[in-house]
Amino acid sequence: MKSHVDRFRIRPGRKVDLAKLPTLVDPIYGSDGAYERLLADHVGRLSDLQARLYAHDRYSLLLVFQAIDAAGKDGAIRHIMSGVNPQGCQVYSFKHPSLEELEHDFLWRTARCLPERGRIGIFNRSYYEEVLIVRVHPEILASQRLPDETANDPKIWKRRFRSILDHEAHLHRNGTRIAKFYLHISKEEQRQRLLARLDDPKKRWKAEKGDVKERALWKEYRAAYEDCLAATSTKHAPWYVIPADDKKNARLLLSQIILDLLEGLDLRYPKPNAARKKELVAIRKELAR
């Protein structure tokens, strides 16, 4: 039976029109109290599954979060992963590449941060920035010192999509399970959140003039996301477009998708073989003395 969150998954090969996808849906919680209880349940189950993922030691989980500014990525990650053992979860945020990173291919800096077996890795922005912000801002591409035949290739974005697809297929074959989330927020909701940011002393430090400049490129970003989502959502590394105007509902939808993915792995604690059982008996005898 398919989960109720499956409807937010982008089917492979389908054209994506974000204008036709909702930024707000009926909430799956009835009150603030119900939200708190549901989130606590999700967090508790996720904590148990993360412990089993670590003990099973065959798979790793990579969660990719992408969105425009103020869509709620940071808060979602913080709330959903609040109950997970920090030793089993790694969060990386990728912004402007360093000089060292610019000397390598565009997948290099994120490849170094992939989760080990038994662990959950979270990319708050990712290698997908290379087909999103870099596409919207061609001056960034010019700074990457690519060979002329690559930088001037009219099919550069299609080739980067292919590199990403090959990369994710390789990871899947070697035990890394991938889920990718685009937090879908309306332009008006973003405006309200940016205004609220200015009024909140705890968030005011985040406000930058660049927020307004990037907002003016809304159509360009939307077109880049639509192309990216359609080209790179696959059976083994799907994109989910999460309605994000309601932050609480978005967190519940995200956590449910992650739970479904982990529960589908049939994670188990290792069963001791005969030699291990003998060793455990010896340990117990030693401790009993």
pLDDT of residue 264: 96
Residue 1 in this model has a pLDDT that exceeds 90: no
Tens digit of each residue's pLDDT (9 = 90 or more) over 229-260: 999 999 999 999 999 999 999 999 999 999 99
Q: How confident is the model at residue 197 (pLDDT cuts 50, 70, 90)?
A: very high
CA–CA dist 244, 1 (Å, integer): 25
Q: Which domain holds residue 71?
A: 4-288
Structural domain total, the chain: 1
Residue with tokens 């939307």: 222
Listed residue (20, 3, 37, 21) closest to 242, CA to CA: 21
Tens digit of each residue's pLDDT (9 = 90 or more) over 168-183: 999 999 999 999 999 9
Note the residue count of the chain.
289
Whichever domain contains 9, its CATH number is 3.40.50.300
Which residue type, as a one-letter code, is found at position 176? T
Tens digit of each residue's pLDDT (9 = 90 or more) over 130-175: 999 999 999 999 999 999 999 999 999 999 999 999 999 999 999 9
CA–CA dist 3, 258 (Å, integer): 11
Predicted model pTM = 0.95
